[in-house]
A and B are shown apart, each in its own frame.
Chain A
Amino acid sequence: MRFRSMTFSARHLLGIESMPAADILTILDLADSYAELNRGQFKRTSILEGMTQINMFFENSTRTQASFELAGKRLGADVMNLHVATSSVGKGETLIDTAMTLNAMRPDLLVVRHPMSGAVNLLAQKVDCAVVNAGDGRHEHPTQALLDALTIRRSTGRVSGLTVAICGDIQHSRVARSNLLLLSKMQNRVRLVGPRTLIPDAFGELGADIFHDMESGLKDVDIVMMLRLQEERMSGAFVPSLREYFHLFGLDSEKLAVANPAAIVMHPGPMNRGVEIDGTLADDINRSVISSQVEMGVAVRMAVLHLLTTASTRSELTD
C-alpha cells in the first residue's frame, strides 16, 4: 500500500460536528487505499500489531460491530467484543463504571455504541485511550457518514457540489445528523424529505431544505439516502400505518424517476423492504450502492482506527 503524509490530530472520533473538512479528506484518502487492500487476497497489515481494541456495544448491532471487528483485525489488533446488557435504569452507572474498568485494562481503542445521545462524549472524558463513537442515541454516527461519503466519492467521482436527499425518519436518526453535518461541510446541498412528524422544523435553520413529499424532494437529486423507519414508529404515533408510509415515502423506481437519471440510492441498513424501500430497487445494481456502503464501511473504519492510534501514539511519545 501507498504511504502518504497525513495530518490528523484528533484524539477521539466522537462526531462529524467538530471535525475539520481536511480531516474528513484525510480519512477518505486513507480509506481508499484500505478499500484496495480489502479487495486483495491478503487483507492484513500490522499497523495495530500488539494493540488492543475493545468494542463496547450498549445497544444491539450486527453490522456495525462486525465491521469494526473486521477493521481492527485486518489492522492486526487484538479485538474484544463486549455486549453490555442494559436495563432502562442505571445505564449511566454501568457506562462510567464499565469505562473505568476497561480503561484499567489499558486498551488502545474503545469503540462505543450507546442508546443515549452524548453518552460516548461522557465516556471519552473518563478514559485515556482513543474513543470511536459507533453511534450515540440520536446524536451522531460519524463512521456511517464517512463511509457514505467514501461511497459517494467512489460512485460519482466527487463529494462536493452534489444535491443529496436524506429521506425518512430524520428526527430519530443519528445517521441523518452526521450525514447532514458532513455533506454540508463538504459544500453539498442537503434536502431532508419525510413526514412533518419525523422532521423537526428546526432542521430548516441548520441549512437543509425540507420537503414533505417525495416528488419535489427527489427532483433532480444526485444522491438518494433512505433511512430505516423503526418498527415502533410505524403504527400510529408518528405515521398512521405502514402502508400509508410506503405509499407516500417508500422509494420505488417510479418515485426515483424524477431524480437525476444517474442518481444512486443508499441505505445504512438494515432495510425494511416494502416499508421505506422497494425490494427490487434495493437490489438493482445499476442504482443501489447499498452493498458498496457495507464494503466501504470496513475500509473507513480501518482508516479511522489507524489514524487515531497513530495520533495517540504521537501524543504519548511527547508526554
Chain B
Amino acid sequence: MADFDLVLSNALLVNPELDSIVEGTLAVSDGRIAAMGKDVPTDSGALQIDCAGACLAPGIVDIGVKIGEPGERHKESFGSAARAAAAGGVTTIVTRPDTTPPIDNPETLQFFQQRARAAAKVRIKPMAALTKERAGSEMTEINLLLDVGAVAFSDCDSPVRDGKVMSRCLSYCSQHGALVIGHPQEPDLSRHACATAGPFAVLMGIPTVSSQAEMMGLERDLALVAMTQARYHADQITTAAALPVLERYLDNGCNVTAGTSIHHLTLNEFDIAGYRTFYKVKPPLRAESDRQATVDALARGLISVISSMHTPQDEESKRLPFESAASGAVALETLLPAALRLHHTDGLGLPTLFRALSLNPSRLLELGTGRLSPGAPADLVLFDPDKPYTLDRTKLHSKSRNTPFDGQVLQGQVLRTFRAGQEIFRNDT
C-alpha cells in the first residue's frame, strides 16, 4: 500500500510527453508524482481532492519574466510576482536580467537569489546578462554566474550589435555548456520603432519597423550559432518571414530552439488602435497573417516555447503618448487563459499547448519539471479549460496592472496550483 501525501482523483490528465488526455487519478508522495492512472489506490491517509473532471497538467515554466527586483520593486516584487504566477498556474519563473542595475555579476545574482528564496513560493530560476550592463561590448563572468545558479544568458531586448562580440559570447558560452537566449531583431532598423510597418501604423504616424528586421536579426544570430556550435534559444519569433530561416538552420543541425510570446499569439497590430499603450510590446504586435503563421509554427513544433514575457509597468510609464510610453505587459496570470484561446479558436490540442508551456521550456533549461510521469516533481496546475470570465485588471495579483486583456472575456480558469505537491494557489470564486 503506497504512502501518498496527496491524491488528485477524477481528473483529466493532460500529458504533453505522451500527447494524451486521459481520465484518472494522480498521487503525490514526497513532492513528486508517485503514481497515476485509472486505478491508483485512494484509500490511504492522503489528502484527497476530487477534481470533478477538471484538467490536471504539469505546472507552467515561464521563460522571460521580469521582476522589478532589484530597482523597480514598486512595479513588481518577488512576492507579488510569485502570487501572480501561482494564480496563473505558473510553477517556475525564469527571470530576466534587464533589471536596474542589470544582473550581470555574481554578487548581484547572489543578492537576487537570497531575495527570491525569502519571498517566493514558486520556483525562481534566474537568467543573467550576456554582456556587462547589457551594453553589448564585454561578456559577463559566465562561469561564476553559472556557479551561483544562472540558467541561461541573455541581454533581453537589447541584442548584441557587434558581431564579433556576439560570436565570442557564443563561443565562450558553448565552452561552458551555457544556453544563450537571443532577441532576434536588427537593432538599427528597429531603433525607436513602436509599431510594425504597414498601412495601419503609417496612418497613426508613429515610428515603425519592418517585420523583416526580425528575420535579419535571426539570420545573423543563427549564422554565428552555426559558426560557434553554441546552444541558442530565440526568445520571441513573431513573424512569418523568420520561420524559413529557423527551419533552414534546424535542418542543418543547429542547436536552436525558438519561443514566442503569448501576446503575439493572441493579438495583432490593430490592437494598438487609439494609441492604447497597454498593447505596446517589444517586438511590436504584428499583422494577423504573422500571428497565424506563428500559431501554425507552434502547432508544428517549429516554435516550441510559449512565454508570457511578463513585463510590469506602472500607470505613469504607460499613461504617456504612445511613442514615449514604456513597452511590455503583465501576463503571468493571463498566460494560461490566453493560451486557451489557441485551443478554443485556433484548434490547438491541450497536450500541444502544455508541451510549449511546460515540457519544452523545462527541457530547455534541464529543470526536470513539466512532465506528468512518476518521479517527476509534483508541480501541477488544475484548471477548467472552458469556464468564461471577464478579466478585471484591478483583481490581478501583480503590483502592476498593465494587461492588454482588461475587460475582455477569457475562457479557462486556474482552480488550483501545486508546487512539489504543496498547494500554492486555490481559486475561491
Contact = CB atoms under 8 A, between A and B. Distances in A.
Interface of A: 17, 91-93, 95-96, 114, 116-119, 121-122, 136-140, 174, 177, 181, 200, 202-203, 205-206
19 contacts: A91-B321, A92-B320, A92-B324, A93-B316, A95-B320, A96-B319, A114-B321, A116-B324, A117-B275, A117-B323, A118-B323, A122-B321, A137-B205, A137-B321, A137-B323, A181-B203, A202-B202, A205-B198, A206-B199
A202 B205 contact: no
Most chain B beta-carbon contacts within 10 A, residue among A117, A138, A200: A117
Interface in B172-223: 197-199, 201-206, 208
A91 B324 contact: yes
A139 B195 CA distance: 14
A92 B205 contact: no
Nearest to A93: B316
A202 B321 contact: no
5 shortest interchain CB distances as A-B pairs: A92-B320, A138-B205, A118-B275, A116-B321, A139-B205
A139 B316 CA distance: 23
B321 to A, nearest CB: 4
Nearest to B200: A202
Interface of B: 197-199, 201-206, 208, 274-275, 316, 319-325
Contact of A200 (B197, B274, B320, B323): B197
B202 A200 contact: yes
B325 to A, nearest CB: 7
A114 B205 CA distance: 13
Contacts of A96: 319-320
A140 B204 CA distance: 8
Given A121-B274, A200-B208, A202-B202, 17 more contacts: A17-B203, A92-B319, A92-B325, A96-B320, A117-B205, A117-B275, A117-B322, A118-B204, A118-B205, A118-B321, A121-B275, A122-B321, A138-B206, A202-B199, A203-B199, A205-B199, A206-B203
A162 to B, nearest CB: 22
A118 B280 CA distance: 13
A181 B202 CA distance: 12
B199 A118 contact: no
Contacts of A93: 316, 320
A17 B201 CA distance: 13
A121 B273 CA distance: 11
A118 B207 CA distance: 12
Contacts of A138: 205-206
